[in-house]
Amino acid sequence: MTPQDQTSTNVSSRKPLISVFGSAGPKPGSSDYGQAQALGTSLGESGFDVLTGGYAGVMEAVSRGANEAGARVLGATCEAIINFRPGICANDWVTEEVKTETLLKRLGLVTSMCDAVIVLPGGVGTLVELALVWNSIMIGELPQVPIIAIGEPWSEVLAAMNNPAFLAPEYFAMVVWAPDTEAAMKHLRTLVPCTIMDVS
């Protein structure tokens, strides 16, 4: 075989990128903000990089914790949200802002770029993010990655979904529930390698 006939393969390594979903509501000093910041710290100290929606609340807290622990922090911002809330911008702990035009493109980005997903308590937007990544993996549109939902609210949501008449057991099992961030990190370290090898 001549050199011209050979196909070159490039292998590179990187830190795993973890998407974290959650509410924009929690303020600094609240228990929800503290929980999210502690999660971000644990992610950074464990060698993970972080991707969030880039704005306030849980997104800010996770970004802050991860940034202060030395992690790369991506924030997916959206022109449509900026138009809806003039003056809003990426939080101060985002190291790389990824700008999108529409909410749907932002949702696509935060659900498709990651090596795992962690879902903290949140509202309708957080529920949409969880449902989108879960369903996209179910139908094979996205590769299967771990999904970990933290906290009692998600326990109740998952209990309501646990009906084989509507959702096959193998699909239901795609989401792992954790009572707190410590348990979630234990699952994550078991499910995701510390280094991702990309082949091109």
SS (H, E, C) 43-72: HHHCCCEEEECCCCCHHHHHHHHHHHCCCC
Q: What is the pLDDT of residue 11?
A: 57
Proportion of the chain above pLDDT 90, given as a percent: 82
- In this structure, which amino acid lies at residue 35? Q
Residue 4 in this model has a pLDDT that exceeds 50: no
For the chain, give the mean pLDDT.
Answer: 91
DSSP character for 129?
Answer: H
Inter-CA distances, 68 with 16, 53, 92, Å = 18, 18, 11
CATH architecture observed for domain 14-189: 3-Layer(aba) Sandwich (3.40)
Model confidence, pTM: 0.90
Q: What is the pLDDT of residue 118?
A: 98
Residue 189 phi/psi, 5-degree rounding, is -65, -30
What is the arithmetic mean of pLDDT over 113-133?
95
* Residue 68 amino acid letter: E
Compute the 3-state secondary structure of the chain and give helix, strand, coil in percent, each to the nearest 5. Answer: 40, 20, 40
Q: What residues contact residue 16 under an 8 Å CB cut-off, 6+ apart? A: 47, 48, 49, 115, 116, 192, 193, 194, 195, 196
pLDDT over 50 at 2, yes or no:
no
C-alpha 140/C-alpha 119 separation (Å) is: 21
3-state DSSP assignment of residue 13: strand
Domain-wise residue ranges, the chain? 14-189
Asked if residues 146 and 187 have their Cβ atoms less than 8 Å apart, the reply is: yes
Whole-number Å distance between alpha carbons of 45 and 70: 7
Whether the Cβ atoms of residue 37 and residue 65 lie closer than 8 Å to each other:
yes
Residue 105 dihedral angles phi and psi, to the nearest 5°: -65, -40
CB of 12 closer than 8 Å to CB of 197: yes
